[in-house]
Amino acid sequence: MKKFILLSWLALTAGIVFAQGKPDWVNVDSRNMKYPVNVYFTGFAYGEIPPKQTRQETINQLITDAQADLIKKIRLQITAKSQTNIEAVSKGGKYNENESFISQNTAESNADIVGIKTDSYYDAKEKLVYAFAYADRFELLGFYKSNLSMILNQIENLIKTAKNLEADREKSKARQQLEEAKPLFAKVRYAQEMLTAIDAATSVADLQQTKADALYNQLTQMQAKLSQAVLIYVNSSEDLLGKKENIVAEKVKSELALKGCSFIDKANGADFILRIKVTTRKGDEIDGIFFIWADASVELFDNHKQKEVYGDNISEKNTKGGSIEKAGRSAMENVAKKIIEKLTNWIQ
């Protein structure tokens, strides 16, 4: 009798120890009680160890599955809530009328939920592996509020830098700053979506929608303005062995036009005034081969800064058969190439 009681007690004790070793999140009722949906996002997965797979490999796979289950729940809430809520707080704003930038980061962000914690358990008796993922809603709220502010500050600083560069007539560099800022709006939208999915009562202030709208409108307006061509007035004097020509000026205009420049007939209203003076001089002639020099002076004047930003003297020699005029034209074209190469660094 005593032996039976002892065996029963040992069996009961073993059962209690086993029960204590099994995490409460394995049971659905215990899981829902300890991790209520109003406080946590959760994901759960379980399964047997497949043939030719180690226990750890199965654990790793099921942890991934549990994380995916959690992320899926968040994305479903984003789909259900965020579109309506964000449109409501930004009705009529240009920010929502320009959605092309939104999809850029969405796919990669699906697997980038911060603050996900995981746990796993192997039940030797049932030969099952369990995996659990969970994330505290309030921790997520704090992170994405902070993250949203950080991203908006980055955009604000990039736009500010672009404005300063534009004021200094550095249009190309200003455009680069805006190009860096534009993809960040996808991250803004994602952070807003996360906040709305985590807490449907997220306020307009928390979403910072007014600031996001204002910054996006500033960016698009600046991009439209900076997309307009740089305006240049060209004053050229070219002499090909006593004959007036326009070889260098036309070559320079043609190449700069490909880089987004336009040309006007008056100095007033131009961003830059380009003054070119070219003369040619003969060298020797040997057996029908002509040697000729083209000498050029170049001055680039910034109309906005009211100062010369580039000046140089360039000489190019050319050797060509056929006629002295052909040699002269070729020398002038070589000068034009040099001028274009130099000007590219200054005209923005």
Same domain, 59 and 95: yes
| Residue among 246, 256, 254 nearest 276 (CA) | 246
- Has residue 14 been placed in a domain? no
- Has residue 328 been placed in a domain? yes
The rounded distance, in Å, linking the Cα atoms of 17 and 26 is 16
Task: Evaluate whether 199 touches 78 at the Cβ level (below 8 Å).
Answer: no
- 321 - beta bridge partners? 289
Domain end call among 177, 202, 226: 226
| Residue among 280, 333, 338 nearest 312 (CA) | 338
Residue 317, phi then psi, degrees to nearest 5: -100, 145
Task: Evaluate whether 191 touches 151 at the Cβ level (below 8 Å).
Answer: yes
The predicted structure's pLDDT at residue 314: 87
pLDDT in tens, the chain (348 residues): 444 444 444 344 333 333 447 899 999 999 999 999 889 989 999 999 998 889 999 999 999 999 989 888 887 777 665 455 445 444 444 444 344 333 334 433 444 677 889 999 999 888 899 999 999 989 889 999 999 999 999 999 999 999 998 887 677 678 889 999 999 999 999 899 888 888 878 888 889 999 999 999 999 999 888 877 788 899 999 998 888 999 999 999 888 888 778 888 888 878 889 999 999 888 776 666 777 888 999 999 988 788 898 899 988 766 554 577 888 888 888 889 888 888 877 776
- Has residue 199 been placed in a domain? yes
Task: Evaluate whether 140 touches 115 at the Cβ level (below 8 Å).
Answer: yes
Residue 206, phi then psi, degrees to nearest 5: -65, -35
- Has residue 283 been placed in a domain? yes
- Has residue 262 been placed in a domain? yes
Q: Which two tokens stand for residue 18?
A: 């086993």
Q: Which helix (H) or strand (E) holds 220?
A: helix 209-226
Same domain, 317 and 305: yes
Same domain, 200 and 158: yes
Domain end call among 109, 135, 161: 135
Number of domains in the chain: 3
Domain end call among 226, 247, 279: 226
Same domain, 262 and 194: no
Same domain, 214 and 248: no
Q: How many helices (H) and strands (E) does the chain have?
A: 13, 9
Q: Which helix (H) or strand (E) holds 128?
A: strand 128-136
Buried b / exposed e along 325-335 (16+ C-beta atoms within 10 A): bebbbbbbebb
- Asked whether the whole model's pTM tops 0.75, one would answer no
Same domain, 234 and 336: yes
The predicted structure's pLDDT at residue 80: 62
- Has residue 109 been placed in a domain? yes
Same domain, 252 and 147: no
Same domain, 254 and 297: yes
Same domain, 101 and 157: no
Same domain, 26 and 127: yes
* DSSP string computed for 137-189: HHHHHHHHHHHHHHHHHHHHHHHHHHHHHHHTT-HHHHHHHHHHHTTHHHHHH
Domain that holds residue 81: 22-135
| Residue among 116, 132, 125, 135 nearest 21 (CA) | 125
Place of tokens 């190019």: 316
- Has residue 83 been placed in a domain? yes
Same domain, 100 and 51: yes
The predicted structure's pLDDT at residue 319: 55
The predicted structure's pLDDT at residue 79: 67
Same domain, 26 and 102: yes
Q: Which helix (H) or strand (E) holds 321?
A: strand 307-321
DSSP state of 267: S
- Has residue 237 been placed in a domain? yes
Domain with 319 in it: what CATH number? 3.30.160.150
